[in-house]
Structure 1
Amino acid sequence: MAVAHLGSITIDCDDPIVLATFWAEMLGGVIATSTERFVSVKLPHMILTAIRVPNYHPPSWPDEGTPKQVHLDLAVTDLDSAQEAAVRLGARLASHQAAPTKCRVLFDPAGHPFCLCLPPAG
Structure 2
Amino acid sequence: MTATANLFAVTIDCPDPTRLARFYQEFLGGQLSSCSPDFVVLTSEHEVRLDFQHVANHQPPPWPDPSAPRRLHLDFCVEDLAQTEQHLLCLGATLAPHQPGGQRFRVLVDPAGHPFCIATTAAAEISGPPVR
CA separation in 2, counterparts of 1:86 and 1:27?
10
The answer to whether the aligner puts 1:108 opposite 2:106 as a matched pair is no
Instruction: Name the aligned partner's letter for residue 92 of structure 1.
Output: T
Q: CA deviation at 1:41?
A: 0.6
The answer to whether the aligner puts 1:39 opposite 2:40 as a matched pair is yes
Cα pair 1:102 1:117 within 8 Å, conserved: yes
Instruction: Name the aligned partner's letter for residue 52 of structure 1.
Output: H
CA separation in 2, counterparts of 1:114 and 1:106?
5
Cα pair 1:60 1:68 within 8 Å, conserved: no
- Structure 2 length normalisation: TM-score? 0.83
Instruction: Name the aligned partner's letter for residue 85 of structure 2.
Output: Q
Question: Gaps (5+ residues) in structure 1?
Answer: none
1:82-110 Cα deviation digits (max 9, x unpaired):
10111111111111101230000000111
CA separation in 1, counterparts of 2:95 and 2:16?
20
CA separation in 1, counterparts of 2:7 and 2:77?
18
CA separation in 1, counterparts of 2:15 and 2:68?
15
Among all aligned residue pairs of Structure 1 and Structure 2, give the percentage whose two residues are the same amino acid. 43
The answer to whether the aligner puts 1:80 opposite 2:90 as a matched pair is no
Residue 28 of structure 2: aligned partner: 27
Residue 18 of structure 1: aligned partner: 19
- Structure 1 length normalisation: TM-score? 0.89
CA separation in 2, counterparts of 1:52 and 1:99?
31
1:30-85 Cα deviation digits (max 9, x unpaired):
10225221111112122211101121100111015554532111101111001011
Cα pair 1:41 1:47 within 8 Å, conserved: yes
Instruction: Name the aligned partner's letter for residue 6 of structure 1.
Output: L
Question: Gaps (5+ residues) in structure 2?
Answer: 126-132
- The RMSD of aligned alpha carbons is 2.0
CA separation in 1, counterparts of 2:53 and 2:79?
30
